[in-house]
Amino acid sequence: MSAVTARTIIATIALIALVGAGVCGADDYVGWRTDGTGEYPDATPVTTWSAEMNVIWKTPMSAKSNSLPTIVGNRLFVCSEPATLLCVDKTTGAILWEASNNPADIAPAEGVADLEAKTAEFNRLRGEIGKASRELRNVRKQIQDAPTAELKARHDELQAQIAALNEQIKPLRETWYVRPVTHDYNGYSSPTPISDGQHVWAVFGNGIAACYDMDGNRIWARFIERPPNDWGTSNTPVLVDGKLILHLGQMRALEPLTGVEVWAQPKAGWNWGTSWVHEIEGVPLIITSNGDTVRADDGTIMASGLGRLRWGSGPMVDDGVLYYIDNQDGEYISRAWQLPTTLAEPFQPQMLWQITPKKDRYYASPVILDGLIYAITQAGVLSCIDAATGEIVYEQNLQTGKPVFFASIVLAGDLLMASQESGTTVIFQPGRSYVEVARNDLGEMVRSTPVFDGDLMYVRGYEHLFCIGNAAG
């Protein structure tokens, strides 16, 4: 099975255009894992580095972020919490511009004071609810030891107080300008910026999406919707069929340069992982982590129930075969589907195999290379899977300790890399047996996947943006 998919070819052409002229076609874009595959076959990276060794430059970041750097010509686009987009000079690491995308940044000037006042009221009420809830938990513990009438009365009083506060905060909680709750693992800036070479788009967990030109001028920004739960969002937008596809809750298609909604597909289930774009008979399809296949032109769902990637990894297509790699509680299993070559109805992909690899969460997306799938669990168990049969070729515990593998596996030149959140990266050879090449420690927490450009690697750490290469050369 060839590792070079049609999407890889398209993205390669796009990158050439970006470097040469700073412009690419309407649907050519760079973003998450550059082209989605995580493959950089022409990269020539160093295989040894540390917090100081082979660091070409490192630029302090104002706050953490899980999003990947996006390379556009001589610029890098990265995010910082909670909703900042930064443009960085690729050669020097200098920050060229940054833009905040909080509600106060996009609200009409006459409404900012009211917005800030209501946000402050929301935060005050949330603080009171938290304080009362903590006291309630403490009172319940005391009642277990000594259930006095006084404690029971205080228990009832606190319950009534919390109920009243929840009624007060309810209308504020649903307003667009109050930042929703999220999990610390995820934050608000996990989606990666994407670009067509002339513009850059970013979406954040506060529900705001925005478009900028290369000089940092805002083209548009608008509130889309709140993420549907208290865990945030990590789904990176895609550009397809002349549309910007967002998936904060509902799947929505916007006009890229105006932000005007073209269609919405509420039945396309919300998902963590970034969607995959696959074309059949000239019609682009959007394949989601939740198992839906959606036409990009009108939002029609062509197929559902193909898989479910609960924790963040994305679906992938290679040589017309769709792969879902996961195994959580034996329910979210790995599957391979042969996609149809026509759009004749009924649109029915044919299952080739389904397996249950190592049972765990799969935050990281895999790499598919020369007929083998390389996938890794949150705890660092690497599975090599035969892409044609689903056979587990080998499983290898990388034995990196407790910190989690959030970053997706990448191919850099002829080597594979897997990075743990502690900053440790394990480098190993592709093939049907595990051969380790090196281990390197960046000395900083990292939940972002590295990207490559020639002999340079760019990594978004929690505190710095790093450029890693041969410092001696």
Per cent of the chain over pLDDT 90 is: 75
Domain span at 134: 109-173
Q: What is the pLDDT of residue 333?
A: 83
Q: What is the CATH number of the domain that holds 387?
A: 2.130.10.10
Pair 266, 348 in one domain: yes
Pair 168, 215 in one domain: no
Q: Is residue 1 included in any domain, yes or no?
A: no
Q: 117, 138, 173: which is the final residue of a domain?
A: 173
Confidence of residue 317 (pLDDT cuts 50, 70, 90): very high
Closest CA to 180 of 107, 248, 232: 232
Predicted confidence (pLDDT) at residue 10 exceeds the cutoff of 80: no
Q: 173, 205, 220: which is the final residue of a domain?
A: 173
Choice among 5-14, 24-33, 208-217, 438-447 with the minimum mean pLDDT: 5-14
Q: What is the pLDDT of residue 310?
A: 82
Distance CA 71, CA 452 (A): 9
Distance CA 227, CA 233 (A): 6
Q: Is residue 338 included in any domain, yes or no?
A: yes
Q: What is the pLDDT of residue 329?
A: 66
Helix (H, G, I), strand (E, B) or coil at 332: coil
pLDDT tens-digit series, residues 318-354? 999 999 999 876 666 899 999 999 999 899 999 999 9
Pair 375, 302 in one domain: yes
Pair 93, 200 in one domain: yes
Pair 196, 247 in one domain: yes
Distance CA 240, CA 224 (A): 19
Q: What is the pLDDT of residue 15?
A: 33
- Predicted model pTM: 0.87
Q: Is residue 41 included in any domain, yes or no?
A: yes
Q: What is the CATH number of the domain that holds 128?
A: 1.20.58
CB atoms within 10 A of CB 299: 21
CB atoms within 10 A of CB 11: 22
Helix (H) / strand (E) element for 470: namely none
Distance CA 174, CA 177 (A): 9
Closest CA to 279 of 27, 12, 26: 27
Q: What is the pLDDT of residue 27?
A: 55
Cβ atoms of 207 and 251 within 8 Å: the answer is no
Predicted confidence (pLDDT) at residue 26 exceeds the cutoff of 70: no
Closest CA to 395 of 412, 405, 416, 380: 380
Pair 63, 118 in one domain: no
Q: What is the pLDDT of residue 109?
A: 64
Choice among 263-272, 345-354, 365-374, 435-444 with the minimum mean pLDDT: 263-272
Q: 131, 147, 173: which is the final residue of a domain?
A: 173
Choice among 21-35, 43-57, 333-347 with the minimum mean pLDDT: 21-35
Mean pLDDT, to the nearest integer, of 425-443?
A: 97
Distance CA 408, CA 365 (A): 5
Distance CA 327, CA 322 (A): 16
Pair 135, 51 in one domain: no
What amino acid is encoded at 2 in this protein? S
Higher-pLDDT residue of 43 and 111 is 43
Pair 375, 438 in one domain: yes
Pair 249, 153 in one domain: no
**Burial class (CB within 10 angstroms; exposed 0-12, middle 13-18, buried 19+) of 403:** middle
pLDDT tens-digit series, residues 240-258? 999 999 999 899 999 999 9
Choice among 23-37, 47-61, 152-166 with the minimum mean pLDDT: 23-37
Confidence of residue 31 (pLDDT cuts 50, 70, 90): very high
Predicted confidence (pLDDT) at residue 39 exceeds the cutoff of 70: yes
| 343's tokens | 């759009």
Pair 118, 44 in one domain: no
Pair 340, 204 in one domain: yes
Q: What is the pLDDT of residue 325?
A: 94
Q: Rounded to the nearest 5 degrees, what angle is found at the Cα of 376, between the Cα atoms of 370 and 380?
A: 140
Predicted confidence (pLDDT) at residue 4 exceeds the cutoff of 70: no
| 360's tokens | 């765990």
Closest CA to 369 of 316, 290, 407, 419: 316
Closest CA to 278 of 365, 191, 207, 347: 347
Q: Is residue 387 included in any domain, yes or no?
A: yes
Work out how many domains the chain is built from and give that number: 2
Distance CA 294, CA 289 (A): 12
Predicted confidence (pLDDT) at residue 313 exceeds the cutoff of 90: no
Predicted confidence (pLDDT) at residue 108 exceeds the cutoff of 90: no
Query: Peptide bond preceding 228: is omega within 30 degrees of 0, i.e. cis?
Result: no
Mean pLDDT, to the nearest integer, of 168-192?
A: 86
| CB neighbour list of residue 206: distance below 8 Å, 6 or more residues apart | 82, 83, 101, 102, 103, 179, 180, 188
Pair 15, 145 in one domain: no
